[in-house]
Amino acid sequence: MSKLCSGVVACVLVGGCYSGLAGDGSGGSDGGGDSASTGDGEDTGIGACEGDDGSLVDRATLRRLTRFEYNNTVRDLLGDDTLPGNAFPSEEIGNGFGNDADAQPVSSLLVEQYGAVAESVAIRATETPERLAALAPCTATVTDATEVECVRTLLADLAPRAYRRPLQDDELDELVALQQTLRADATFAVSIAGVLEMILQSVDFLYRVEHGRLDGDGRVRPTDHEMATRLSYFLWGTMPDDELRAAADAGALSSASDVRAHAERMLDDPRARPMVRFFFDNLLPISGLAALERDDVRYPKYSGAIGALMREETQRFLEHAIFDGTGTWPDALTAEYTFMNAALAEYYGVDGVVGEEFQQVALDTTQRLGVLTHAGVVAGTIHSNETNPVVRGSFLVQKIMCNAIPLPSGDVLAEIKPPDPDSGATARERFSRHSEDPACTPCHMAMDPVGLALENYDAVGLWRDTENGVTIDASGSVPGTEGTIDGPVELVRKIAAAPETHACFAQHWANFAYGRTHDSADACVQTAVETAFTESGYDVRALLLALTQTDAFLGMPAGEP
C-alpha cells in the first residue's frame, strides 16, 4: 500500500489505493516495480526505475482512440467537425477517463458503428469537388490518364497522417490497388470514399500501434513517430500536427529534452485547452449538468440552461487558473474569484455582471472559495432533489483525495436507499443513523463529516442558511487532518492543504496520460511524478511536463517487440 492511503481513514481501506465506482472492474497487477530511482544519465527524464521501465508486460498497452480522440482526429485529418464518434457506445468507465487500455472491450455494436461512421465520414469528405480538392488539388482536373497518379498523390499525403507514421514498403501500392478495385463499380469520388472508409476502420487509425525501437542502451523506446503520437494524444487529444511530424521525420523526438521541448510548445498552444477541459469534465461531476433535472417547484431558478452555464463557469475558471493564472492546483482549490455571465450571476445573486460573455468575478469568500464550491460541482454530485452528504463527501474523499472507502457488503448495499425526506428537518438529522449505528459508523465517519460541511449548498448549488426553517449546522472534519471545520470555506482550505489531495491529482493525471489505472506496480513512476509536482509548488503545467519525462512515457515494456 503506498503512502497515499496510510492510515488516513479509520475505516478499513481497500488495497491499491484507488477505488472508482462500483463495477469499474479491477485491472490489478501484482507485478514488481517498487525499486528505487537510480537516475541513469542526464537526458533520460525522471523516475528511471531499475528493472522496470514503467510499463508492465502483462498489461495491454495498445490504446484505442476514445470518442473524444476520434472526433478530434477526423476533424484534423478530414475537416469533419460533426463529432461523428459520439455514435459509438460509451467507453467503459475504467480509470475515469474512458481511455484505460485494459478496459476497452470490442462489441459487435462497436465494430458495426465503426463501419457505419466511417462510411458517413468518407462520403462527407468526398461529396463535393471542393472537398475532394481539399484532399488533393489534382482531383479537380483528374482524367483517366492521370487518375492513378492523382490517387497516389492523395494517399501518399493522407495515409501517413491517418496512420501517424510513414508508409512501409508497398503500402501505398496496396492502397492504390484498393482504389482501383473499388473504381470498377464506382465513380472516382466514391472510390476515394471507399479507401477513406477502409482507413477509418483500420487498425493503424483506430489503435495507437507501437512497435518501438532499440535505443543505444539496449532499451526499447517508441519510435519518433510513435512519440509524436503519444505527445499529441496526451496534450491535445488528437493526431500529431505538422511540426511533430517534421520532428519525427528528422529524428528529433528521441531524447527526453526533445520531448520536453515539444511538450512545452504544445502546452502553450490553444489546442491544449480542450484536452484540459476533457480531463476536468471527467474528474468533476459537471459533464451532465445541462441534462440535470430538478423539481421546478422547489427549485424555480434552476434549469438545464443554468446547468450548462455552471459547467462553463467551472471550465472557464480552470482554463484561466491553469493557463493564465498562477497555474497551481492549490490556488485553483482556494481561488477567490470565478467566472460568470449575467444569467449565471443572476442565478447566484451576484450584482454587476452584464452580458453573455463570461467575466472574472470576485467571490464572497464567506460563502465560496475555489472550484470545489462552484454551484455545478456541488450540484452535480447529487442525483436527486435532496442533498446527500454521503455522495458529496464520498466524491471529495475518494475522487479528490484518493482515499478509498469500500462499499458495504452485498446484503447491506442492496438495502441502501436515501432516507425518507420527512425523517428530519436537516440532512444531519436524516443521516443521523450513520453516526449512531456501529455497522455504518466506521466508513461513514470518513465521508459524512466532509459532505455535511457542504450543506449550505442546496441540491442546485445555491447558498442557504436554513433547511426547513432550521439553521444548518455545517460543522465537520476532514479525515486524516487535525481539528474540525465549520462550513465549506474551511473545508476546502483543509482539503487544499492536505498533501494527499495533490498526490491524488497527480495520480489522476497519470492515469489519464498513460491510459491505465494506477496500481502498486506504478509506484516508482508515480513517486517520480509526485515529487516533480511537489517541487514545482503543485504547478499543473509542470505536472503535465513531468508526465512526459517518465520512463512510462519515454519507454516501452521490455520484452515487447
Partner 1 sequence: MIKRPTLSRRTVLRGAGGIAIALPWLEIMGGGKRASAADPSKRFVTVYTPGGTVIDNGAGENRWRPTGTETEFTLSPILAPLEAIRHKLLVVDGMSMTSAQGEQHQAGIIAWLTGTTQQPNYGYAQGPSIDQVIATLLATDTPQKSLQMAVRWGTGKSHGLLHPINAVNFEDNATFDPIPPRLDPQAIFTSLFGALDPDNNADLAARIARKKSILDFVDRKYDGLAQQLGARDKQKLDEHLTKIRELEGALDQMIIPTDVCVLPEHVDTSDYNPTTGLDSADDGSILNTETDQAIPKVGKFMMDMLVMALACDVTHVASLQWSDTEAKHTFPWLGLDQHHHYYQHDGNFRPAECEQIYTWYAEQHAYLLQQMDLVELGDHTLLDESVVFFGSELAQPPVHSKSDMPFLLAGGGGGLRGGRFLRNAGLADPSHNNLLVAILNLFGDERTTFGDPAYCTGPLSGLT
Give the binding range for partner 1 (CB under 8 A) out of 4-12, 175-183, 254-262, 423-431: 175-183
Rule CB under 8 A: choose which of 36, 140, 203, 470 binds partner 1: 203
Please state, in angstroms and as integers, the Cα–Cα distance from residue 221 to each residue in 62, 360, 466, 472, following that order: 15, 45, 60, 58
Cβ neighbour number for residue 203 with a 10 Å cutoff: 10
Does 198 bind partner 1 (CB under 8 A)? Our answer is: yes
**Which one, 7 or 417, has the nearer CB to partner 1?**
417
Query: Would you mind telling me the total number of residues written for the chain in this entry?
Result: 561
Separation of alpha carbons 22 and 408, rounded Å? 11
Q: Where are the beta strands (DSSP E) in 195-312?
A: 207-208, 213-214, 220-221
Does 557 bind partner 1 (CB under 8 A)? Our answer is: yes
The backbone torsions φ and ψ at residue 479, rounded to the nearest 5 degrees and listed phi first, read: -55, 135
Apex 7 CA angle, 4 and 10, nearest 5: 125
Those residues with Cβ within 8 angstroms of residue 116's Cβ, 6 or more apart along the chain or in another chain: 87
Least CB distance to partner 1 at residue 464 (A): 20
Does 60 bind partner 1 (CB under 8 A)? Our answer is: yes
Does 385 bind partner 1 (CB under 8 A)? Our answer is: yes
Residue 382: name the closest of 397, 398, 395 by CA.
395
Does 194 bind partner 1 (CB under 8 A)? Our answer is: yes
Q: Burial, 526: exposed, middle or buried (Cβ in 10 Å; 0-12, 13-18, 19+)?
A: buried
Does 24 bind partner 1 (CB under 8 A)? Our answer is: yes
Q: Which residues within the stretch 345-384 sit at the binding site for partner 1 (CB under 8 A)?
A: 383-384
Does 22 bind partner 1 (CB under 8 A)? Our answer is: yes
The kind and range of the H/E element at 542 are helix 540-547
Biggest distance spanned by C-alpha atoms of the chain: 86
The answer to whether residues 506 and 29 touch, using CB atoms and an 8 Å cutoff, is no
Least CB distance to partner 1 at residue 25 (A): 5
Rule CB under 8 A: choose which of 90, 143, 168, 471 binds partner 1: 90
Does 115 bind partner 1 (CB under 8 A)? Our answer is: yes
Give the binding range for partner 1 (CB under 8 A) out of 39-47, 204-212, 310-318, 426-434: 204-212
Name the β-bridge partners of 539.
328
Least CB distance to partner 1 at residue 508 (A): 19
Does 399 bind partner 1 (CB under 8 A)? Our answer is: no
Does 58 bind partner 1 (CB under 8 A)? Our answer is: yes
H helices of 52-146, where? 67-78, 108-126, 129-135
Interface size with partner 1, residues (CB under 8 A) = 64
Give the binding range for partner 1 (CB under 8 A) out of 176-184, 269-277, 350-358, 545-553: 176-184
Site string for partner 1, 432-471 (x = CB under 8 A): ----------------------------------------
Least CB distance to partner 1 at residue 531 (A): 30
Rule CB under 8 A: choose which of 356, 411, 436, 482 binds partner 1: 411
HSE (CB half, 13 Å, CA atoms) of 332?
Answer: 28
Does 104 bind partner 1 (CB under 8 A)? Our answer is: yes
Separation of alpha carbons 372 and 361, rounded Å? 16
Least CB distance to partner 1 at residue 201 (A): 5
**Which one, 21 or 36, has the nearer CB to partner 1?**
21
The answer to whether residues 17 and 2 touch, using CB atoms and an 8 Å cutoff, is yes
Give the binding range for partner 1 (CB under 8 A) out of 17-25, 66-74, 369-377, 499-507: 17-25
Q: Which three cell numbers stand for residue 199?
A: 482507413
Those residues with Cβ within 8 angstroms of residue 140's Cβ, 6 or more apart along the chain or in another chain: 129, 132, 133
Least CB distance to partner 1 at residue 234 (A): 19
Least CB distance to partner 1 at residue 278 (A): 17
The answer to whether residues 110 and 92 touch, using CB atoms and an 8 Å cutoff, is no
Cβ neighbour number for residue 416 with a 10 Å cutoff: 9
H helices of 97-187, where? 108-126, 129-135, 147-163, 171-183
Q: Which residues within the stretch 288-317 sit at the binding site for partner 1 (CB under 8 A)?
A: 288, 291-293, 295
Does 343 bind partner 1 (CB under 8 A)? Our answer is: no
Site string for partner 1, 226-265 (x = CB under 8 A): ----------------------------------------
Does 182 bind partner 1 (CB under 8 A)? Our answer is: yes
Give the binding range for partner 1 (CB under 8 A) out of 178-186, 372-380, 495-503, 527-535: 178-186
Does 410 bind partner 1 (CB under 8 A)? Our answer is: yes
Cβ neighbour number for residue 147 with a 10 Å cutoff: 18
Give the binding range for partner 1 (CB under 8 A) out of 60-68, 149-157, 257-265, 524-532: 60-68
DSSP 466-529: EETTEE---EE--TTSSS-EESHHHHHHHHHH-HHHHHHHHHHHHHHHHTS---GGGHHHHHHH
Rule CB under 8 A: choose which of 167, 189, 209, 350 binds partner 1: 209
Does 560 bind partner 1 (CB under 8 A)? Our answer is: yes
Does 178 bind partner 1 (CB under 8 A)? Our answer is: yes
Residue 508: name the closest of 102, 234, 231, 97 by CA.
97
Please state, in angstroms and as integers, the Cα–Cα distance from residue 366 to each residue in 84, 373, 380, 484, 496, following that order: 45, 11, 22, 17, 17
Least CB distance to partner 1 at residue 103 (A): 9
Rule CB under 8 A: choose which of 81, 174, 243, 486 binds partner 1: 174
Residues lying near partner 1 in the complex (CB under 8 A): 14, 19, 22-26, 57-62, 89-90, 92-93, 102, 104-112, 115, 174, 178, 181-182, 185-186, 190, 194, 197-198, 201-204, 207, 209, 211, 288, 291-293, 295, 383-385, 407, 410-411, 413-414, 417-418, 557, 559-561
